[in-house]
Structure 1
Amino acid sequence: MLMPELSKQDLEALLRPRLGRELVVESFSSEALTQPGENYGSTMLAIEVKIRKGKDNTPSDNLSLVAKLVPPCEFLWKLFDPPNTFCKEITCYTSVQVEYEKLQNEKCIPRDKFVDLFPKCYGVRTTLSEEIGDKADENAAILLENLKTANYRLGDQRVGLDLKHVQLVVSQLARFHALSVALKILKPQVFKNTVLKACKPHNRTFDEAEMQANTLKLMKVIKAIPGCEDYHDRIQKSSEMANLMKVDSSVLPPREPYATFSHTDLWVNNMMFCYDSKDENNPIAVKFLDFQGIVYDSPVKDLLFFLYTSAAEGVQAKHYDELIHLYHENFTDCLKDMGCDISSFTFQSLLEEIDMFAPSEVEHILFRLIAICADRSEVPDISAVDLEFLYCEPNDIYKRKAKEYIIDCVQRGWL
């Protein structure tokens, strides 16, 4: 499968619906945006475009964009299911983002509380057709603002995020989840047409035999971690339960009233931070990226996945209780601002939600940590990624993080 790319005509077709039918691309340049190990579910290009929006005497303008295109190899198509997941993400930008902004404006939410976590979208397509379909093909594309030119930057996936960054993400994630719940309560039909449409279930890309084989591969990785010998059986049972849930969603369905728009892959490389101009280490804003995997599920799965994959070593262990309280405070505060009854959303009910859904995230977190902790020099190009890499021999960083997580799960009763 060839590495996808965009032409002048592609860019004009993508940009014209938003910027005007007379738009002309005068010139453009593109280069790979991400390094090996930073992104697997898509091909990411940084594109500089010189455009003219009107007739010949109209001044030219420059756009710094990111193009999100389908992944370049068959294995990643099987792993990420782009025909389905690209449509889900496109719905986020064309519908969900619009309704979130509309609802907050209707409720006169002040700017310091306004949830604005989506990057600006400049154009989308599922196929070469002008119509946005329900199934994407190899021509699918999403054009977004290049946040790097707006002084946003990524964190270090192997080091993780310090407490300030984690607090910012937890508070914004809580409000992001609460907006979905508010839309469900206040505008149920709009919620159905936007959030639930975007959250349509994934197609199962691995059969049961393949999932069982992957569980054995993961267990081989876990068995290489000293000090976790007593927990192997518990981890294997948890992984088998996760496989069952992939086959039968009724095993652990989302529960009301918390069920919400769930990102499912919220880790360091799927967010970018903007910083105080007077203090480059003080994050003041964050944007979330990569909405291909969204589902309707418990919000605590996003919260736990983020904390255990993306906090720097020791941050989660020292501040867990504080961060859970921070999440609850922001979640309920957002609902109150939207005029919703919060009597069902007690702190105790959140703790019960965590205990209910935390076990279902164990396999997910242990698996994703392998790639997150991988040495960049050992990460293959995106076109060469396969299961052998995704279940490779764990390094010392993985062993430390996975062991800390496993022991915490045991102590909290999740394993």
Structure 2
Amino acid sequence: MDTAHIKDINNLIKLDHGKTIIDQKVRRLTAPGENYGSLMLSVDLTVKTPHGTEEIHAVAKMLPPSKFIQELFNTNVTFRNEIGFYSKIVPLLQNFQKERGVAKVIDFAPRYYGSRLNLDDDSTALVLENLKIDNYVLLDRLEGTDMDVTKLILEDLAQLHGVSLALKLHKPDVFENEIKPFLAPWKPIPSHYAKLKKDLHRLIDHVEELQPFREKIDKEFDQQMVVKEPREPFATVCHNDCWITNNLVKFDGGKAVKNKMVDYQLCSYGSPARDVLFFIFTTVKSHIVEASYDYLIKFYHQKLISILEELKCDTNEFSLEAFEKELDYEARNSQFGHVAFMLFPVFANKENVKEVAEMTPENIISEEISDLLKEKFIFFVNQFVKRKWIYN
């Protein structure tokens, strides 16, 4: 794809009357390993106005140039879902909060400028604000999040889950007809899944500590292939891909003060426990998980309940005990395979990660097994064994 310009950009981005885009500068935004499901471009626009000119700094999310990645991420569905999230779901949730008297509405997602869905060519695009201009930064995926950043992201997840859940409870028809159409689940492709399973076996063969759990790991990983019906009453809008590179953080004086979540292409209808478990075990520093897992769960749950109460929901069904049962169910039935798969790209050595256009079923996961991957995988398996989510 020619990244010198974006096609027909004046019709892509909706500007106020009398404003016209007169110049655009486009360049590659993310490094290999920071985004797998799309091509991310930085877009700087000069806009002519009735009173002069102004600048818009944006990000354009384009179809990945690799046909393999398009197939793997099912972009025919997921691009439509993500455009729907920004253009339909976020405004619905914000308007619902305002109707219920909430002064400070959700702002965990970047601003939406416009989109075009034309999957037959490379004109498909989703244009959002460039958060880096406002000093949001992408954290190092090999480092993991500290306690302050972890709490910011858990609070944003509670906002996503809680406001969506409250809307479902108060306006079930709106949720069913205007939100659910953009929550089509992603389903793994068997041929690609087989390659990923071989990589899992290769990891187990290289790590002595994992070998006693080989049969159980194998069985639990297969759960990822089974799409299960969402469980009530907790079922709500889930991000399904909340790991470190899908969050950008703003710091003030060295302290994390604000987070923005991005990449909603895998959003689906399901348990909020999925997002909480996936985020904690792919992204949070291991020593924090070891020492503070129970605290983090209570922190998230308290935020969720406060949101439901603010939106005047009956919270009797959403107790901490009930949520812990959700965690137990999702850990056993969906998140072991999900986390196990994602630890490979999360902890891949940066110099070995391919460009999106170069990715194939054979090289999407590096042949090298890093020490960080071994260490994190051992920790993750031991944590699931400790909590009796898997056991020998």
**Which residue of 198, 206, 219 corresponds with 2:189?**
206
Deviations 1:58-109 (A, max 9, x none): 3111010000000011110111111111100010011100011101111222
For 1:218 and 1:85, how far apart are their aligned partners in 2? 26
**Which residue of 302, 310, 319 corresponds with 1:346?**
319
In structure 2, the CA distance between the partners of 1:136 and 1:174, relative to structure 1 (3 Å rule), is farther
**Which residue of 212, 216, 219 corresponds with 1:234?**
216
In structure 2, the CA distance between the partners of 1:67 and 1:191, relative to structure 1 (3 Å rule), is same
Q: Match for 1:311: what amino acid?
A: V
**Which residue of 360, 363, 367 corresponds with 2:337?**
363
Q: Does 1:333 pair with 2:306?
A: yes
Q: What is the match of residue 10 of structure 1?
A: 8
Deviations 1:305-324 (A, max 9, x none): 10111112311111100000
Query: 1:20·1:53 contact (CA, 8 Å) conserved in 2?
Result: no
Q: Does 1:35 pair with 2:28?
A: no
Query: 2:192·2:361 contact (CA, 8 Å) conserved in 1?
Result: no
Q: What is the match of residue 73 of structure 2?
A: 80
Structure 2 residue matching 1:99: 3-state secondary structure: helix
**Which residue of 407, 410, 413 corresponds with 2:382?**
407
**Aligned 1:5-404 pairs, distance under 5 A:** 5=3, 7=5, 9-15=7-13, 18-20=14-16, 22-54=18-50, 58-111=51-104, 114-127=105-118, 138-202=122-186, 204=187, 206-207=189-190, 210-243=192-225, 245=226, 249=227, 252-276=228-252, 279-280=253-254, 282-359=255-332, 360-391=334-365, 392-404=367-379
- Cα distance, 1:240 vs structure 2: 1.9
In structure 2, the CA distance between the partners of 1:336 and 1:230, relative to structure 1 (3 Å rule), is same
Q: TM-score, normalised by structure 2?
A: 0.95
Q: Match for 1:284: what amino acid?
A: V
For 2:297 and 2:81, how far apart are their aligned partners in 1? 29
Q: TM-score, normalised by structure 1?
A: 0.89
RMSD of Structure 2 on Structure 1 (CA): 1.7
In structure 2, the CA distance between the partners of 1:8 and 1:372, relative to structure 1 (3 Å rule), is closer
For 1:87 and 1:136, how far apart are their aligned partners in 2? 13
Deviates more, 1:326-335 or 1:354-363: 354-363
In structure 2, the CA distance between the partners of 1:324 and 1:187, relative to structure 1 (3 Å rule), is same
Q: Match for 1:269: what amino acid?
A: T
Structure 1 residue matching 2:68: 3-state secondary structure: helix
- Cα distance, 1:225 vs structure 2: 2.0
Deviations 1:154-208 (A, max 9, x none): 1110001111100111122112101111010111121113321110233x4623x
Query: 2:21·2:48 contact (CA, 8 Å) conserved in 1?
Result: yes
Structure 2 residue matching 1:156: 3-state secondary structure: coil
Query: 1:180·1:195 contact (CA, 8 Å) conserved in 2?
Result: no
Structure 1 residue matching 2:115: 3-state secondary structure: strand
Q: Match for 1:407: what amino acid?
A: N
For these two proteins, the number of residue pairs brought into alignment is 388
For 1:205 and 1:233, how far apart are their aligned partners in 2? 21
For 2:108 and 2:96, how far apart are their aligned partners in 1? 15
Structure 1 residue matching 2:317: 3-state secondary structure: coil
- Cα distance, 1:239 vs structure 2: 1.5
Q: What is the match of residue 132 of structure 1?
A: none
Please, which runs of 5 or more residues in structure 2 have no aligned partner?
none
In structure 2, the CA distance between the partners of 1:144 and 1:350, relative to structure 1 (3 Å rule), is same
Please, which runs of 5 or more residues in structure 1 have no aligned partner?
128-134
Q: What is the match of residue 131 of structure 1?
A: none
For 2:122 and 2:357, how far apart are their aligned partners in 1? 15
Structure 2 residue matching 1:254: 3-state secondary structure: coil
- Cα distance, 1:218 vs structure 2: 1.8
- Cα distance, 1:352 vs structure 2: 0.5
Deviations 1:292-338 (A, max 9, x none): 01111111111111011111231111110000000110011100000
For 2:279 and 2:250, how far apart are their aligned partners in 1? 19
Deviations 1:19-38 (A, max 9, x none): 13543222121111000111
Deviations 1:259-312 (A, max 9, x none): 111111101110111222xx22x1111111001011111111111110111112
What is the percentage of aligned positions where both structures have the same residue?
Answer: 30
For 1:413 and 1:137, how far apart are their aligned partners in 2? 48
- Cα distance, 1:387 vs structure 2: 2.9
Q: Match for 2:237: what amino acid?
A: F
For 1:28 and 1:51, how far apart are their aligned partners in 2? 9
Structure 2 residue matching 1:290: 3-state secondary structure: coil
Structure 1 residue matching 2:140: 3-state secondary structure: coil
